[in-house]
Amino acid sequence: MTIALGLGIGTQNSKGEWLETFFPAPVFQPSDEATKGLQQVLSIAAGNTTTELSVEHLQTISESDAVDQSFRDLAARFVDSQQLAVLVVIEEDLTATSTPEVYLKLHLLSHRLVKPHGINLDGIFGLLPNLAWTNKGPIDLDELAERQLAARLDGEIVEVKSVDKFPQMTDYVVPSGVRIADTARVRLGAYIGSGTTIMHEGFVNFNAGTEGTSMIEGRISAGVMIGSGSDLGGGCSTMGTLSGGGNIIIAVGDNSLIGANAGIGIPLGDRCTVESGLYITAGTKVTLLDTNNQVVESIKARDLAGKPDLLFRRNSENGRVECLTNKTAIELNEALHANN
């Protein structure tokens, strides 16, 4: 079974190299008929392929009864636009070999068609050019100065919003049921569940995100997934695979709270709380307390990874990190989080 199909339009530099690709309607796990229809009319071999499409190719797709109607309609619109078009077919979940293929995978995540860690993203950095993201679209950095001069001579300005390998998600995908106060802080490839609110200081990296209703005022690093009903306080941090977490998959369970300026380097289970200002890494020494606040034992935080109903706090008198059972689930205010 084919993993994904994407018919997209995008931007190339003056050398004919792809800079980025927009897939308005990526398809996850398409029917065999949909895949074979496109491969047959374009004479494309089976397997993972990236095929640049001419106007003639697009016309052939739009007129062929062998092609699924949704692709026919999209191809017809692309013909009229005269934009650079490409077809990406992913039959096996292998390391990507082209920039459009990487963009299709990132679209699948932000369209909520696959969840973080649900598709192979190995090697993507080498296929994502570092670009100037501007009010005139993405521009190759080697061509930016000339574009800026040309714009000035025409009485215009090229505004550079960022210089990065990843664009902001909302220039490509706006998922339903979300609020994002500062769209520049959510990268394409983020998975934002319905009901999520991301405040101005919240940040969500690619291959990371939220399951559902959550208030995000802290940082969700690459590879981290936040459970439904959980709250990340202002300035808090989650240690991702790109920020010191290594191969450990950090996650936060349902109905948990990471307080302001706190952070985690271990997975949290459901209904857990980390008090404000406390950063817990795998090697943090934690003192376990019983229901009478008596010391039970001292262990490393990694031994508590993924366990539910825990409250982590720092003892203000002796400075030790303590953990006790937390039976109170974090209930987010329904009115505050209504995004519809």
The CA distance from 222 to 189, in Å, is 10
In a domain? residue 333: no
92 with 140, same domain? no
Q: What is the pLDDT of residue 15?
A: 97
How many domains is the chain built from? 3
280 with 239, same domain? yes
For residue 335, what pLDDT band results from cuts at 50, 70 and 90? low
DSSP string over 98-109: SHHHHHHHHHHH
> Which amino acid appears at position 6 of this protein?
G
179 with 145, same domain? no
For residue 293, what pLDDT band results from cuts at 50, 70 and 90? confident
Partnered with residue 18 across adjacent β-strands are 12
51 with 92, same domain? yes
User: Could you read off the pLDDT of 272-285 as tens digits, one per residue?
Assistant: 999 999 999 999 99
Any idea which residues carry the catalytic annotation?
Answer: 217
Strand order in the sheet with 137-140: 137-140, 131-134, 160-164
Closest CA to 255 of 284, 227, 279: 227
Q: Which two tokens stand for residue 252?
A: 């936060």
Q: Domain containing 158 — which CATH number?
A: 3.30.60.70
64 with 146, same domain? no
In a domain? residue 139: yes
207 with 144, same domain? no
Show the domain range for 157: 131-164
Distance of CA 339 to the CA centre of its chain: 20
Stretch 223-229: mean pLDDT: 97
Distance of CA 176 to the CA centre of its chain: 15
User: Could you read off the pLDDT of 190-204 as tens digits, one per residue?
Assistant: 999 999 999 999 999
Q: What is the pLDDT of residue 1?
A: 85
Asked if residues 13 and 19 have their Cβ atoms less than 8 Å apart, the reply is yes
For residue 330, what pLDDT band results from cuts at 50, 70 and 90? very low
In angstroms, the Cα distances linking 29 to 35, 101, 206, 288, 328 are 10, 15, 21, 47, 40
User: Could you read off the pLDDT of 106-163 as tens digits, one per residue?
Assistant: 999 999 999 999 999 999 999 999 999 999 999 999 999 999 999 999 999 999 999 9
DSSP string over 257-286: EE-TT-EESS-B-TT-EE-TT-EE-TT-EE
In a domain? residue 223: yes
274 with 261, same domain? yes
In the predicted structure, residue 208 carries a pLDDT above the cut 70: yes
Query: How many CB atoms are located within 10 Å of the residue 80 CB?
Result: 10
Distance of CA 270 to the CA centre of its chain: 22
The CA distance from 207 to 223, in Å, is 5
On average, the pLDDT of the chain sits at: 93
In the predicted structure, residue 289 carries a pLDDT above the cut 60: yes
> Which amino acid appears at position 26 of this protein?
P
211 with 291, same domain? yes
What stretches of 145-224 adopt beta strand conformation (E)?
A: 160-164, 179-180, 191-192, 196-198, 203-204, 209-210, 214-216, 219-220
For residue 27, what pLDDT band results from cuts at 50, 70 and 90? very high
For residue 82, what pLDDT band results from cuts at 50, 70 and 90? confident
